Amino acid sequence: MAGPNHRDLLDPAALNRAESLGFVARTIVEGYKVGEHRSPLKGFAIEFAQHREYTPGDDVRHLDWKVLGRTDRLYLKQYEQDTNFVAHLLLDTSGSMAYGSGKLTKLHYAKILAATLAHVILGQRDAVSLGLFGNNTRQLYPRTDTPQRLPWMLETLAAAQAAGPTNLADHLARFAPAIRRRSIVVILSDFLEDEAAVLATLPRLRFQGCEVIIIHVLDHAELELPFKDTVRFEGLEGEQPLTTRPSDFRKSYQEAVQAYCTAFRQGCERMDCHYILADTSQPPAEVLSTYLAFRNRLHS
Amino acid sequence: MSFLFPAFLIGLAGLSLPVLIHFIRRKKLQIIPWAAHRFLIASIKRNKQRLQFEDLILLLLRCLLLALIVLAFARPFFKSDLKPGADAAAAGGDAAQVILLVDHSASMGWSDGVRTRFDEIRDLAETELGTLPGGASVAVIAYSDRVLPVIARPTRDLALVRRELARLHPVTRGSDLAPALRAALDLFDTLPRAPRRIIILGDRQKLAWQNREALDTQAKRATEGGVTVSFRAPAGDAPVNLAVTRLDADTADAVSGQPVRFFVEVLNGGTAPASQIRLTLSPDGDTPAAEKIISALAPGARAQAEFTLTFADAGYHAVTARVPSDSLAFDDTRTLALRVTAGVRVLLVEGGPPAGSRTRPGFFLAEALAPVPPARRPSFPIQVERIPAAEFSAARLTGIRAVVLAGVPPLSAETATALDRFVRNGGGLWVFPAAGDVVAGDPLAALLPADTGSATPQAAAATTPAGPPYAHPIAGLWDDPSNGTLSSVIIRRHLPLTLRPSAEAAEKPEVVVKLADGSPLLVARPLGRGRILQSAIPADTVWSNIPILPVFVPLVQRGLAWLQGGASAPGALAPDEALTMRVDPALLGREFRVLAPGRTGTPVPAGRVELVGGQPSVRFTATTEPGLYRIFNDAGDTPIAVFAVNPDSDESDLTPVDPVRITALTHEAPATPGVKPVASGSRLPAWLTRDIWRLLAGTALVLVLAELWLAQRFSRSK
């Protein structure tokens, strides 16, 4: 399968194709490697194994500094490398995800992030499962740990269409019992629904030992409401049209959105979940790189 | 409250504009599919009341702004309730419409040696302009005996008013205030309602106010229309103004070498008596040829003087009567043009007995036409050719100025046609009937001014001509008893004459002399360029004794002179009076040129010879300037007509009008000369009104600024 060139990478239409999606994801990952000179995969290996005495030639970055501080002896931290984890990528495909003021809709943006994560995770031999939550539909695809399944996963992502109202909290509540072991749950959505209901599902996931990562995808226009003159807003999920002059209450709107995001972030943090606000005006690579760097610092 | 321009109130429909613009802009909405409805709804709900309040404020502000602009254009004003004498400017009466009626008649040229009355009128006008409230509009109408709209519609450009006043100068015309006042009120009728005022700027000359009935009518009209009339006059009276008010000659066509009498009238139009007035008469602009001293002349009195001049050369001559120059120069001279001919050939055609008989009908006529001994007749200016009726034909008319038919039997149709053509081309015809009954079917009858009836019977009682005054110039000589009287004339028989109506007013017959019973004795009629006289009696001693009376010779001579005047230009015209003079048909369509008064050198083309009343005529209307005018054809250097234009003699009378008349028109107290009158009572404030357009415009400006500020403030993100 011939991959697209770099111009296609910038073309949102090309993102509809699985090849493009995979290429973009790969480009992001490789770009990150070039910058860090080591794989970020290790950051996802969360199972600690044992300590080992330091021998010359070992990487000093793996020294356990706390032990050194307490005992004045050199020990290295070793992790359980042979134990794979499962990352559940849960993507909101409701109608509201179809909005995009620029070249990318929120759904496209979320697909890129999901594809990138799948590429990264499968690359380190961990398992990935995919869930698409739309209007009363829930598509769950079984876990896989073979990189050869990545194209299939990307095709599945590319084929996803945004439609219908959001019912994410209900989907998460139904999904939680299906998780049988400690894993990472990545939820990509605009969360334009009852945030309290969504937050209410997180304790169950956390109780099951899952690490939850919330990627809050919002369009830049949804954050800023930059429109001039009088605008007729037509709801993507069946809301009544609104005709108004945004300049009359832009500041108020921005404050409301910020308050909502802040409240949602704080709700996530109370559940010890990671919250990432993904503004679609920012490059996906930048969003992921920032977060992965943050994780590395957190687990180092 | 009233409006100067109520039509602008239609603009109030524009109040719907903000709403319309709102709906139009709604149709051009930007439609955006949107996901974050919940935040929009929350924000709108939170700001709904504020937004509605702001929108309402802006809507009201914009509607009010439009309403104020419309009202400002409609110019509302309120009647002032200020007390008399209040300052008009303080009243804000800036919508006042003012018409300046400026007298520029000839009397305004009166000068004290430094400044004329018209200069003082300009000063008064400037004073009035300076006291007008801001925003007042001014029209200017100049008047003499004619009305001249200088600024036909009121303008706020007072600089323009001042420029036009500076350009205005006195004209040599009389003065009549009534038509000017009517024109001003007519102008007000065409203007929107507003405070109105007429300021009359003129002298107090009685002449301008003489049309009392018309002035009263206009004064009533002004009162009903709410128009305030003011009168301003320069200070002082004219103590002395000597004027030549009349200059006439006893003939329009003099004969070279023959004395011509001139009648001159002098008026003291001032308020002080004059004495030792030197009156001179100058032919052709030369030094005075004759002079007389009028010993004393009371104010308003007139003196007549008579001069006799003899002209050696044939052609047109100008005679000027002059009094010493005084403060009003326009009437110090008067000019008359006179045509002098070398001699006149008269064809006397006789019917009846053989030649040489005293009973021939033309015997007394021939003697009266050339009243000199036979030895002097060859050199006499009037050459009489006597022929019997049988020899009369068209060929005999060549070179003849006048034809006298004395007792001629009916002419042939061919001869009658030739006579018709002869008269229409400027010849004169005098018809005396035969001493007998009228023969029917005379083709000449169509030319004559009257139809002839059967002769009165021999047994009828004798009658005499009616006494003076005589309207016709031929008989005007006997208006003065010192020149004799017609009362000694006894008419034993006559032919009743009935004037024949004429389709053309210019050819209308008129009675020269009538009998005591009112029946015409001598009738006259212009025909074409010529003239016709018709007598009711033959020139013999059977029907009347007139041929043997002394009055017969001057009657015949004056009749002959009148017959020749048909082809002459009038001696004098009034300013702007058109000259219409019939000329040789050969000149029809050709250009004529005019040398105006005071001009020398080449005459200026002034028009073409056209048909006027079916006759080839010179018509010249540019006679504004007084003086002598010379008219030439397109080829010759000899004038074909000369005439003078003299100003209206009535304008020389500077007698002031009764102040009561001024008060009746203006309702202002009689003013001390040179002192600006003070408002007298309840009428003056009528034109002092309030016009609030500036207030409205200022408020609108404030609202514009407020709207801009609020719109900017409201449009900030909240």
CA distance B62 to chain A (A): 19
Average pLDDT of the residues of chain A = 77
Number of other residues whose CB lies within 10 A of the CB of residue B390: 10
- The secondary element (H helix, E strand) that includes residue B555 is helix B552-564
| CB contact at 8 A, B579 and B620 | yes
**pLDDT at site A15:** 37
Q: Which of B21, B40, B52, B53 to mutate to test the interface with A (most CBs of A within 10 A)?
A: B40
Paired tokens of B481: 């008893």
Q: How far apart are CA B185 and CA B201, in angstroms?
A: 16
Q: For residue B683, what are the contacts with CB-CB under 8 A and spacing of at least 6?
A: B228, B667
User: Is A187 in a helix, a strand, or coil?
Assistant: strand
B607/B34 Cα distance (integer angstroms): 87
Kindly report which listed range (A39-48, A289-298, B197-206, B260-269) carries the lowest average pLDDT score: A39-48
- For A260-276, write each residue's pLDDT tens digit: 999 999 999 988 899 99
Which residue in the set B36, B43, B54 is minimally distant from A192, CB to CB? B36
Cβ-based contacts of A252 with chain B (< 8 Å)? 43, 46-47, 718
**Which pLDDT does position B490 carry in this prediction?**
92
Structure-token pair, residue A114: 């999901």
pLDDT at residue B440, rounded to an integer: 60
| Measured CA angle at B307 (ends B302, B308), to 5 deg | 160
Question: Could you write out the DSSP letters of every residue in B49-84?
Answer: HHHHHHHHHHHHHHHHHHHHHHHHHH-EEEE--PPT
Average pLDDT of the residues in B560-589: 77
The answer to whether residue A156 scores a pLDDT higher than 80 is: yes
Read off the tokens for A160: 């996803």
CA distance B411 to B388: 12
Specify which of A191-195, B172-176, B713-717 reaches the highest per-range mean pLDDT: B172-176
Residues of chain A contacting B57 with CB distance shorter than 8 Å: none
C-alpha to C-alpha distance for B565 and B568, rounded to whole angstroms: 5
Taking the CA of residue A64 and the nearest CA in chain B, the distance in Å comes to 47
Does residue B101 register a pLDDT over 90? yes
Query: What pLDDT, on the 0 to 100 scale, is given for residue B240?
Result: 76
Measured between CA atoms, how close is A260 to chain B, in angstroms?
Answer: 9
With an 8 Å Cβ cutoff, are B34 and A99 in contact? yes
A-chain residues within 8 Å CB-CB of B53? none
- Select the residue of A106, A192, A231 nearest B38 (Cβ to Cβ): A192
Prior bond of B469 cis (ω within 30°): yes
Q: What would the mean pLDDT of B125-145 be, rounded to a whole number?
A: 87
Report, as an integer, the average pLDDT of B9-14. Answer: 86
Share of chain A above pLDDT 70, in %: 78
Measured between CB atoms, does A222 come within 8 Å of chain B? yes
Q: Tell me the chain A residues in contact with residue B36 when contact means C-beta distances shorter than 8 Å.
A: 96, 99, 190, 192, 218, 222, 257
Residue B714: is its pLDDT beyond 90? Answer: no
Among B454-458, B464-468, B537-541, B548-552, the least confident range: B454-458
Lowest mean pLDDT across A219-223, B300-304, B351-355, B557-561: B351-355
Question: Which of A253, A254, A258, A279 is most worth mutating to test chain B (most B CB atoms within 10 A of its CB)?
Answer: A253
List the single residue in B with minimal CA-CA distance to A240: B37
pLDDT of residue B177: 92
Element at B347 (helix H, strand E): strand B344-350
What residues are paired with B387 via a beta bridge? Answer: B349
Indicate the SS3 state at residue A158.
helix
- CA separation for the pair B323, B243 (Å, rounded): 7
The arrangement of strands across the sheet holding B196-201 comes to B147-155, B137-143, B97-103, B196-201, B227-232
3-state helix, strand, coil in chain A (%, to 5): 50, 20, 30
Answer for the pair B348, B386: CB distance below 8 angstroms, yes or no.
Answer: yes
Quote the strand ranges of chain A, DSSP E: 48-53, 75-79, 86-92, 127-133, 138-144, 184-189, 211-218, 231-235, 242-244, 274-279
Tokens of B608: 């073409």
- Please provide the average confidence, as pLDDT, over all residues in chain B: 83
Interchain CB distance below 8 Å, A253 and B54: no
Q: Which residue of A has its CA nearest to B35?
A: A96
- Residue B184, pLDDT score: 93
> Would you give the distance in Å from CA A260 to the centre of its chain?
19
State residue B201's pLDDT score: 93
Which chain A residues touch B43 with a CB distance below 8 Å?
A: 249, 252-253, 256
Spell A148-172 as b/e; 16+ CB within 10 A means b: ebbeebbeebbebebebbbbbbbbb
User: Cβ contacts (< 8 Å) between B47 and chain A: which residues?
Assistant: 248-249, 252
- Strand pairing partners for B633? B592
pLDDT band for position B53 (cuts 50, 70, 90): confident
Count how many pairs of residues, chain A against chain B, have C-beta atoms within 8 Å: 100
pLDDT tens digits, residue range B392-414?
Answer: 888 888 888 899 999 888 888 88
Decide if A247 touches B, using CB distance below 8 A.
yes
- The DSSP result for B209-265, as a single string, is G--HHHHHHHHHHHHHTTEEEEEE--SS-----EEEEEEEES-SEEETTSEEEEEEE
- pLDDT tens digits, one per residue of B578-627: 888 877 778 888 899 998 888 888 888 888 888 876 777 888 888 888 88
Neighbours of A213 (CB within 10 A): 20
N- to C-terminal Cα distance for chain A? 39
Task: Nearest by CB to A234, from B33, B41, B54: name it.
Answer: B33
Distance, in angstroms, between A137 CA and closest chain B CA?
Answer: 20
Q: Of B25, B29, B51, which is closest to A248 when you measure between CB atoms?
A: B51
Q: H or E segment at B275?
A: strand B274-283
Report the residue from A218, A233, A257 with minimal CB separation from B34: A233
Instruction: Indicate the range of B153-167, B269-283, B615-629 predicted with least confidence.
Output: B615-629
What pLDDT is attached to residue B441?
66
pLDDT digits (tens, 9 = 90+) for B666-706: 866 554 444 444 333 334 344 444 567 788 888 999 999 99
CA distance A59 to chain B (A): 50
Tell me how many degrees the CA angle A26-A31-A32 measures, rounded to the nearest 5.
100
Burial of A79 (C-beta count, 10 Å sphere; 0-12/13-18/19+)? middle
Whether residues B35 and A190 touch (CB distance < 8 A) is answered with: yes
Whether the CB-CB separation of B572 and B611 falls below 8 Å is answered with: no
CB B445 within 8 A of CB B417: no
A98 contacts B33? CB cut-off 8 A: yes
Cβ neighbours of B31 in A, within 8 Å: 231-232, 234
pLDDT category at B430 given cuts 50, 70, 90 is very high
Kindly indicate the confidence band of residue A41, based on its pLDDT and cuts at 50, 70 and 90: very low
The single-letter code of the amino acid at B49 is: Q
Q: Do A239 and B37 touch (CB under 8 A)?
A: yes
Name the one residue in this structure whose structure tokens are 């500041």: A251
Q: A236 CB near a chain B CB, below 8 Å?
A: yes
What end-to-end distance do the CA atoms of chain B give, in Å? Answer: 45
What's residue B224's pLDDT?
Answer: 86
Size of chain A in residues: 300
Say if the Cβ atoms of A243 and B29 lie within 8 Å.
yes
Secondary structure element (H or E) that encloses residue B644, with its range: strand B641-645
Q: Is A88 left (phi over 0), alpha (psi -120 to 50) or beta?
A: beta
Partner residues linked to B283 by β-bridges? B319
> Which of A257, A289, A263 has the alpha carbon at shortest distance from A275?
A263
pLDDT tens digit sequence for B311-365: 888 888 889 999 998 888 888 999 988 888 777 889 999 887 665 556 778 889 9
User: What would the two tokens of residue A82 be?
Assistant: 């042979």
The predicted-structure confidence for A172-223, as pLDDT tens digits, reads as follows 888 888 776 668 889 999 988 788 888 888 888 888 888 889 999 999 999 9
Q: Report which residue type is found at B101.
A: L
Contact call for residues B453 and B496 (beta carbons, < 8 A)? yes
Q: How many helices (H) and strands (E) does chain A have?
A: 10, 10
Of the candidates B133, B107, B139, which has an alpha carbon nearest to the alpha carbon of residue B120?
A: B107
The verdict on A263 touching B (C-beta cutoff 8 Å) is: no
